Chain A
């Protein structure tokens, strides 16, 4: 699914990722943990193609060179990111945004675009399954949403777009237990043998609900340690303090 080799990224000559390596196979869930400033969000941004980074190294996504593709093509090919801070867009109806997004992606994938009625049926099912209040659909995209509503909206978008690889960038930060449950239910419901997840988080909490196959600890722009889900619990106790950057 995804193979990252010797990835470096800097902003204004400040190196943030430095010799980062990671391989994600179809169906796997990887969690990336690490202290603030270790490069977690940069990793998500570089993979999705956000501007402003000088990037070196190689990233293969489904066997193709990911770094050459514009942002929207990466998305159309099934790469999705749940944003840490979802953006507010005034005047744009949430329902419309989701429909436009889904139909753009469907068109590229050679599928028939959904008309309003089909889409409505789909979204009603999804919101119901996720226990998300349908009312957010008729509001302006993320405008005036609470932190929890914004994150739920990200998960809703994820379940609608059915990505191949979903990156969750600190989706759990600032969530209460109920919202956390919705987020993890969303991920668990999508879990399948050909879909992978990269879950970026600062806390272990989310991993009580989503069982990762691997946990990586990111320190100073590279993976300092890799383990199974117990590693997360261990980190919760001892913190990141004594974590020395080592090669994997």
Chain B
């Protein structure tokens, strides 16, 4: 007995390689869905379209694992590095008229390309007199560049209201007239460029048209990255005792980041893929369930009913099947806006007729079986016959149809999203691809931004196609036995 089951199992596995792969893939997708739904807080998901939230990430960075491959060629892309205030070496120098506070960050740079930028966000509590900020960079070749020197712009100073930031309240008790200034120094700003122009005589090439990070990290002989230990010194010259550095980061924008890189708006592509999974699966499964259900019952009734009603129902199926669905979908969603549920409704509207036609054919066949005819003669009601005798016969077949209807919905949704007609409050893979296309990622070679969402779309579709095909095969085998 056991041997026989084993034999059947072996045969099943051999003939259903596709199905096995399908099951593994669907488990993987379900896992991703659960992770995205339960381990990512909703609050975080809403940040997808908020550019401020992503401002500490690098722009257009490749996945970080490509450095492992580049190691084979002795080539490394700069990694993303964020220094926090606690990483700094601090020292204070007191002069008679002012106080100097140095925050020194040491940065080991050993990559073969320049980083893409340096950002320095800071928050300073300012007393009566605005302090002066100075940023120096000490290079491995002992050159020292002053890249920024400015007094805090008094226009930026905003007084803190009590309700604004609760953490500050304790501090504010002692300091009567205090303001906080939050700012961000970009290496691409004109001030930094001007400051670096003073050092043009140190370089043996023209630095006029180079962006600052390509000067700061460059060798003096040729424009190549200079590896070694850098020191970034952020100094504050304060003229009263109330000036306090509250927060400081040094962000060296890398060219590799995270598992799947980042996009033009600095968003983490992996995060987008994750939060897109439940949405895409929801669209696919909802549309497939609804349209198989409608298709099943519509087809059954159309096949079961005689003459006029049946013909009329078939006519409606014919009309729906002939409609140019993609074009109508575009026109309708263009007019009625981008609501996820509305889109799902549209897909159901165009999804059921094909299934209805298939089910109709089967229904006609089963209707003529003797036992159905017999129960009809016994006076059973039409509804009972359909539910009791025809539906159970069609269930396995319907299951296969359901699996094959999922990819159609997912591919349709991604196509509409790619045309910019998706629901922006629910990021999907198609919308990510649309973003990539509108920022012409293909011609700029940002493959990670294109490959991953499309790969997920394909994987999901292929999963359901494999499941559908093998369940068809399985039920055929079942029948034979």
Do the two chains bind? no
